[in-house]
Structure 1
Amino acid sequence: VSIPRCEARLLIGDARQTIQDLVCQGFQADAIFLDPFSPQRCPQLWTVEFLSLVAQCLAPAGHLATYCRAAAVRSALQEAGLHLGTLPIVAPRHSHEWAQGTVARWQPDQLIPLSLMEQEHLQTRAGIPYRDPHLRDSAQTIRWRRQVEQQTANRESTSRWRHRWGIT
């Protein structure tokens, strides 16, 4: 059995700046595992702008995987031009357990499609992504900007969506 060569690099610093350097270098990864803190706690690394740069570092046949299934993050990945897939839970124990995470690719093949419930989740207010136009705003500013957009959006509330799907 032949084991393919694997290379990893640890880059220390503000990821929002480091990713810009990687894009400039033309860096391409076959696999990216995105594992920052939760979007609410660390929205800086879940914005459309940041994820668009991460996507630029994804090789044409590459896969990006994250534990996150938040509608805001999935919407941001879509805005970055990626196709979405789900990591389903084999035996969910609660109604709020519908996926273990998200996989994204440039091409839709090799993905488990989002369920109708997950697709509809993207259309709720929860699906409004975080934004950081200049990649330097504080978490508080990014959260505030999203809240303002959510309050003015003509979208279904997430609580209504949850009720419709029986999610407690």
Structure 2
Amino acid sequence: MNWSDKELIDGCKRRSAKHEEYFFKKYYGYVMGISLSYAKDRDLAQEIVNDSFMKFFGSIKSFEEFQSVKSWLRRITVNTAIDFYRKNKKIREQLEINEQTEVFHEVNALGDLAYENLIAILDQLPDDQKLVFNLYEVEGYSHKEIAGKLNITESSSRVYLARAKAKLRKLVHTHLKEYAGR
């Protein structure tokens, strides 16, 4: 079957199992890709995927035709990943930090890395740093928005991001040295 998104949405609104199954199959890879950028492993990503689709189907009646299916599904998936993070991991004690933060220079070596290597490097970040990095750099949230979503301070969000970038810099440098040595 080759249903359009509109036909799929209409069928999902009627709770048609066939339409829901086809929608799931059509967008599974897209949602899994987003989930993998927030989860440490495939099992956690699969939980995020399942919860995202459950939320999507549960709220399908509020979907408006003028909305983009992909952007709505992306927002649900990102919010589900954030909810998962909040629910399954106690946020460490609030960081007491100085207002002074170290400024780091950007590394432009990421272009030399294969996608799989980049994902493996990102997976080495602590969960809180990876989450803030993705929300800020990939999704485009501000530190104020991140702080609100994660129940942390804006300055903690900045620190997590700075630490993530510093660690990524070291990991990329190490990876490139290993790659050059081959």
Which structure would you say has the larger RCO, counting Cα contacts within 8 Å and 6 or more residues apart? 1
- TM-score normalised by structure 2 residue count: 0.31
| Bigger radius of gyration among the two | 2
Higher share in strand: 1
Higher share in helix: 2
- TM-score normalised by structure 1 residue count: 0.33
